[in-house]
Amino acid sequence: MSAVPVLALDGPGGAGKGTVGRAVAGRLGWHYLDSGALYRVAALVALRDGLDPAEPGRVAQRVRGLDVSLDGDRIMLRGEDVSRDIRTDEVGAMASRLAPEPAVRSALIDRQRALRRAPGLVADGRDMGTVVFPDAAAKVFLTASLEERAYRRYKQLKEQGFDANLSQLTRELRERDERDANRDVAPLRPAEDAVVVDTTGHPVEWVVEQVLACMQ
């Protein structure tokens, strides 16, 4: 599988990984992986099945045998389209609790690597370049100011029809940043060989070009 190239696109929430990742994948004609969606699926299963996040081993066991598929923006779980269900605040909060758990991360890592298919894969997440695909052909770490990331998330949720509070989102992103950066397993940080791109104040098209330039 190492012959199949990967572009690892990491960074904190709201940095633009999803929008940029999909655009880059489209330009390259590659597959796209939203790794965060898998963690949200795990969170949705935990909530629906009444699993206690304090028992991550049970959650991991359930996740390993899940009937789940990712097809672009469409997420199918047990034959049901849960693309919208996984985007709620409740699911996001649960995903944030489960993400640092080694058992849960281990259960999902094989699923992520299995999506590495020709002609190539654009993988967005928080540990794509450091843990999941350390041999990626290119690694990019997207970042942006906290204020801009919170506003982007606020705007996205409003456009999707969800209620959103900008102050609350800012606080939640700050707390998530701290948890991700300080967790024992796969902390959020740029890979040593990653190119860091600050997206603050830049249009999507500019960021896409910066990322594509890293592939040359």
The string of pLDDT tens digits covering residues 117-172 is 999 999 999 999 999 999 999 999 999 999 999 999 899 888 888 888 999 999 98
For residues 180-216, one letter each, b for 16 or more C-beta atoms within 10 angstroms of the residue's C-beta and e for the rest, the string is beebeebebebbeebeebebeeeeeeebbebbbebee
The reported pTM is 0.88
Question: With helix as H, strand as E and coil as C, how does the chain read?
Answer: CCCCCEEEEECCCCCCHHHHHHHHHHHHCCEEEEHHHHHHHHHHHHHHCCCCCCCHHHHHHHHHCCCEEEECCEEEECCEECCCHHHCHHHHHHHHHHCCCHHHHHHHHHHHHCCCCCCCEEEEECCHHHHHCCCCCEEEEEECCHHHHHHHHHHHHHHCCCCCCHHHHHHHHHHHHHHHHHCCCCCCCCCCCCEEEECCCCCHHHHHHHHHHCCC
Residues 178, 173: Cα–Cα separation, whole Å: 9
Question: Domain residues of the chain, as ranges?
Answer: 1-16+125-216, 31-118
pLDDT at res. 2: 63
* Positions in the chain short of pLDDT 70: 1-2
For residues 121 and 102, give the distance between their C-alpha atoms in angstroms, rounded to a whole number.
Answer: 24
- Which pLDDT score, from 0 to 100, does residue 186 have? 83
Q: Which CATH class is domain 1-16+125-216?
A: alpha beta
CATH of 31-118, one of 3.30.70.20, 3.50.50.60, 3.40.50.300, 3.90.800.10: 3.40.50.300
Q: Hey, do 1-16+125-216 and 31-118 end up sharing a CATH topology, with the first three levels equal?
A: yes
Q: Name the token pair of 127.
A: 């540990």
